[in-house]
Amino acid sequence: MPRARPEKIVRQTAAAPQEQGSGCLSDFTIVPLAVIFISALLASFAWKTNPSPVDLPLVTSTSISPIFRIEILHWADSISKWAAASQLDPNLVATIMQIESCGDPRARSSAGAMGLFQVMPFHFYAVDDPYNPDTNAARGLAYLARSFETGGGNTRLAMAGYNGGIGLIGRAEWSWPAETKRYVQYGAPIYEDARNGSSSSTALNEWYIKYGVSLCRQAHQRLGLP
């Protein structure tokens, strides 16, 4: 669940190039230099507007894996929509929902986290309905995308940041809280199984047996699934 309070991210823009002085160069020298200057400027612009996969969450699929439990598959179309809006892999989004709520839109933790993505109250606006699936996804996945970016595209760090707060990403893994270590222990291999096209996930099955039975039973009933 996203714990840290949201912060604004300010992006810097490149300064406009200064005008060249006339100097004492001949016309024959100025023309090729101008061509080189314009080419370099265009190359710089292209570099800035086409970031590497590490700069933004990498979308590797448009649908979610069948390894997830039926309660998560119930939200498949919505997950794809939310993931696209957040520039996240839908299988990563599904993994987070699996562990956080098992698809129960009314889930609430003892710490006060709410909804499908177990978002803490201070991430919502006063007019928000925290249990509205679209609203809950927008707030939760915005934090996940920030965590992913802060972690340099590393999904383990993104999950740790989502669970324990983005400030955790800069700390050594041995110092993470036990809950966060457990979160990543199951979340990372579940996501890898989903992303790699596996037909089942040992990590997901183990998580379900140890931690997910009552959570998923509650979600199953809430969703009115057969």
Written as six digits, the tokens of 165 are 């707060």
Catalytic status, residue 100: yes
Tokens for 110, please give them. 């003892």
| Other Cβ atoms within 10 Å of 145 Cβ, number | 19
Six token digits for residue 102: 């098992």
- Tell me how crowded residue 63 is: count the other CB atoms within 10 A of its CB: 13
Note whether 130 and 114 are within 8 A (CB).
yes
Q: What is the dihedral of CA 139, 79, 161, 177, to 10 degrees?
A: 110
Helix axes 155-164, 90-100, angle to 10 degrees: 40
Rounded to 10 deg, the angle between the 155-164 and 178-195 helix axes is 140
Compute the distance between CA of residue 175 and CA of residue 173 in angstroms, rounded to an integer.
Answer: 5
Residue of 71, 100, 179, 206 marked active site = 100
How does DSSP assign 27-40, residue by residue? HHHHHHHHHHHHHH
Q: Are 153 and 144 in contact (CB under 8 A)?
A: no
C-alpha 26/C-alpha 113 separation (Å) is 69
Q: So which residues are the catalytic ones?
A: 100
